Amino acid sequence: MNTPARLDATFAALADPTRRAILARLALGEATVGELGEPFAMSQPAISKHLRVLELAGLIRRGRDAQRRPCRIEAAPLAEANAWLERYRQLWEMRFDDLDRLLDEMKAAGKPARKPRVRRKS
Amino acid sequence: MNTPARLDATFAALADPTRRAILARLALGEATVGELGEPFAMSQPAISKHLRVLELAGLIRRGRDAQRRPCRIEAAPLAEANAWLERYRQLWEMRFDDLDRLLDEMKAAGKPARKPRVRRKS
DNA sequence: ACCATGCATAACAATCGAGTTATGTAACTC
DNA sequence: GAGTTACATAACTCGATTGTTATGCATGGT
C-alpha cells in the first residue's frame, strides 16, 4: 500500500465516530471484541465490521486468546496522517492578518495567488 | 455542527486524494475552480462536487470574482483533526518495548488491559 | 459428549460516494 | 443582444459503506 492509498484508508477509518471511540478505548490497552462493542447500541457483527476497517487501515492488530480476539492499537498510520496535517500547521496557527500577509508574499514571489476579495454576506 | 460531526466531515473530506491535492494547491494561495481542476483527468462537475465537500467540511471558502469562484483554504478544521491525532502521539512515538512497558503500567494501574499475547505467524 | 461463549461470515437492504453527461445561469466581451 | 466563459445543478449509474438478522465455528467449561 503506497502512501496516498494508506492516507485514504487512514482518514476514511477515522471519519466515523464509532471507530474513533474504539481507537480511544484501545489507547488504554488491549480489549476484546465484546468489550469494544459494549458501549455502542449496535449489533456485534457491526462492531466486527468496524474492526475489520480499522485492521485493513493498519490501525489495529488482532491477536488470539482462546475464543477471544484481543485487539491492539497500531498507531503508525496515525503518524502518517499527522505528518500530512503538519504541512498545514502554519496555516491554522496564524492569525488572519498574518495569513493575508503570507498570501501576499506568495503572490509577490510569482505564485498565481489571487487578490483577496471582498467577503459577501455569507 | 458539534465536534464529533465536524471531525467526521473533516476526516471524510481528507480521505480522498483529489481533495487532499486540492488543499495542497490551495495552501499556495487562492485558485479558481478551473485552475483547481486542471491537474485532474476528471470532469468539471466532479471537481465542483469535491469543492462542495470541502466547503461543507469548512475546509474552504468560496469568494466571487466576476464569473470566477476563487477558493481559499480554511485551515481551522485541520487544527481540530490535528488535536484529535495529538492524543495518540505518544503511542506512535514510542518504540515497541516502551509501548509494552506502558501497557503493563496501565494494567498495573487497574486498567482492564490484557496480557500481551504471542504473535502468530501473520 | 454437550452446551455456552466469543466471534466471524453470509446474505440482504438502505444509504452514500464519486463519477458521468446534459443543461442551466451569471457575468464578461464584442 | 449574441456568444463565450466559468461555473453550478440535475439526473443518472454504479460500486462501496453501514447497518441488519441468521448462521457457522472454534474453543472452553462441566
pLDDT tens column, A41-64:
999 999 999 999 999 999 999 999
Q: Give yes or no for A117 touching B (CB within 8 A).
A: yes
pLDDT digits (tens, 9 = 90+) for A55-95: 999 999 999 999 999 999 999 999 999 999 999 999 988 76
Q: What percent of chain A has pLDDT over 90?
A: 71
Q: Structural domain boundaries of chain B?
A: 3-79
**In the CATH scheme, what architecture does the domain A3-78 have?**
Orthogonal Bundle (1.10)
CA–CA gap between residue A111 and residue A108 (Å, rounded): 7
> What cell does A4 get?
496516498
In the block, cell 477471544 appears at A68
pLDDT digits (tens, 9 = 90+) for B37-85: 999 999 999 999 999 999 999 999 999 999 999 999 999 999 999 999 9
State the pLDDT at residue A71: 97
Q: CB B112 to CB A31 under 8 A?
A: yes
CATH of domain B3-79: 1.10.10.10
State the pLDDT at residue A94: 77
- DSSP characters for A57-112? TTSEEE--BTTB--EEE--HHHHHHHHHHHTTHHHHHS-HHHHHHHHHHHHHTT--
Interface test with B, best of A90, A117, A121 (most B CBs within 10 A): A117
Query: Within 7 A of a protein CB, which nucleotides of strand C?
Result: 5-11, 17-22, 26-28
